[in-house]
Structure 1
Amino acid sequence: MTSRLTFGSLAGAAVSAALVVSAPAPAVAQDAADLASAVTALRAISTLRADFVQSDTRGQQVRGVLTLKRPGKIRFQYEKGVPMLIVSDGSALTFIDYEVRQVQRWPIKNSPLGALLDPSRDVGKYGRVMPTGSDRIVSVEVRDAKRPEYGVITLVFTRKAGAPGGLELSSWAALDSQKRRTIVTLSNQQYDLAVPDNTFRYNDPRGPVRR
């Protein structure tokens, strides 16, 4: 039960912020270059597999493996003992709680993960570079000042020559309208793997039909 409640709070915060945002203030030349590099890095990812740690403001954590396939597909496979799954088939993000047999769905465009999954989302137009104090780190914040209920998401990249676009997505943080923060940190990133589309299916706990 503890795992379910912990993950439930994390997932709720993770899917509550949207990336429909307003144009930022004009950036200095380096910020503009860094933002362009971040957009290039996101668009250059075809497939990605990585370990992740997801944590909330109380320091509670769950771990698992993330698999991404553009456009639109992602799977958060949580560690053993956490009866949860988050998966996108390219059109909607689905949260499955196998313990209580619940399934919830959100359009990709209404999820903070739209920055990774929605090919129509122009992070270059809507994001702004935030100071990090390190030349190796690029941080891009996305928010809609007119829609505070969408929350805020911040994508963090590390400069790495072997990563797509020269930047490796290393973490992101989502802050919802209730000020609940969720942080997802990636490690052991692998790119351009062969990932079959059935990776993004799930067993529906409400019945025998496989979705």
Structure 2
Amino acid sequence: MMPSRFPAKSRVRRCLSPVARGVALSCGLAMTLAMLSGAAASAQTIQPPGDLMKPQGRNAGATAKPGPMAQVVPQAQAAANPDGRAPRATVDRITSYYNSVQALTGNFTQIDPDGTRRTGDVYMQKPGRVRFEYDPPSPVELIANGQSVAVRDRKLNTQDVTPLSQTPLRFLLAEKVDLASDPHVAGVFQDDKFISVIIQEQVPMIGTYRLLILFDAKTSALKQWIITDPQGYDTQVTLSNLQVNKKPDPKLFVINFERMLQ
């Protein structure tokens, strides 16, 4: 499913629950590939659960253990080709299927780098629009409107925004993909359960992001993705109860930019 050269270990960071504002954004919104870094605040500073995209600093007290990305690595050996790579016909099939999915709604389960498990509802409309609503007690929403991605904290009444083009979500939300020719695709791999697409991007002054997307080997359905930030920390999102090509309400993807002026 994945190449043997892919890192077999992942370090774990301590993720605290929702984000507190008043924080210096760790490399600036323009440079962060992730969601709104809240790195240098006081002990009360907390970060958003839903942090699908941002690089965060390592917590010195965290105990290192393999993340979700590391857990799937051993399955890479079970593919048909000697190096685990999927045949071109499989690559074309997954490309065709994913391009046919222009909208979906359903549920998600997120596992943060420290093992924290969160659930909620997801709504997606290509190109570029998605909404993650986290179940209580989390007050966080993550919204992409086609150009920007916002993290809202309803409890703290805060909002941080970064360009969609600077986040790994842009690959998931692209209207059309070509897995055979996209230079960011590091490989497509296959075993009995999953077809795995590895996307990699080097970001100046930040490092390399890796996005692992898992599709069902039999049905081609999108099942899961894992984002590894430049520090090697994994965030896993698993989808369930999906309704494909059922268009969500467009109002779900509206970002209220006036919140940033308050």
- For residues 128-161 of structure 1, the C-alpha deviation after alignment (integer angstroms, 9 at most, x for no partner) is 43545x3331001011357571411100000344
Structure 1's unaligned 5+ residue stretches are 18-26, 162-166
Q: Which runs of 5+ in 2 are unaligned?
A: 1-15, 20-45, 56-82
What's the TM-score, normalizing by structure 1?
Answer: 0.77
Aligned to 1:8: 47
Q: Distance in 2 between matches of 1:120 and 1:100?
A: 37
Structure number having the greater strand percentage: 1
Q: How many residues align?
A: 192
Deviations along 1:12-46, whole A, 9 cap, x unmatched? 4x2237xxxxxxxxx99843333222222221112
Equivalences for residues 113-192 of structure 1 within 5 A: 113-119=169-175, 122-124=178-180, 125=182, 126-129=184-187, 131=189, 134-144=191-201, 149-161=207-219, 167-192=220-245
Q: Which has the higher contact order (CA 8 A, sep 6+)?
A: 1
How many angstroms apart in 2 are the aligned matches of 1:105 and 1:150?
Answer: 21
Higher helix content, 1 or 2: 1
Structure 2 vs 1, CA of residues 80 and 178 (structure 1 numbering), >3 Å: closer, same or farther? same
Q: TM-score, normalised by structure 2?
A: 0.63
Alignment of 1:1-211 (within 5 A): 3-4=17-18, 8=47, 10-12=49-51, 14-16=52-54, 30-119=86-175, 122-124=178-180, 125=182, 126-129=184-187, 131=189, 134-144=191-201, 149-161=207-219, 167-202=220-255, 206=259
| CA positional deviation for 1:86 | 0.3
Deviation for aligned residue 1:193: 1.4
Structure 2 counterpart SS, 1:63:
strand
User: Matches of 1:9 and 1:80 in 2, distance apart?
Assistant: 13
Q: Where does residue 42 of structure 2 map in the other structure?
A: none
Say if 2:196 and 2:215, in contact at 8 Å, map to a contact too: yes
8 Å Cα contact 1:35-1:128 kept in structure 2: no
Give the secondary structure class of the aligned counterpart of 1:35.
Answer: helix
User: Per-residue deviation at 1:204?
Assistant: 6.6
1:23 matched to which residue of 2? Answer: none
| RMSD, aligned α-carbons | 3.1
Query: Which protein has the larger Cα radius of gyration, Structure 1 or Structure 2?
Result: 2
* Deviations 1:95-116, CA, capped at 9 Å, x for gaps: 1122322211222222111122
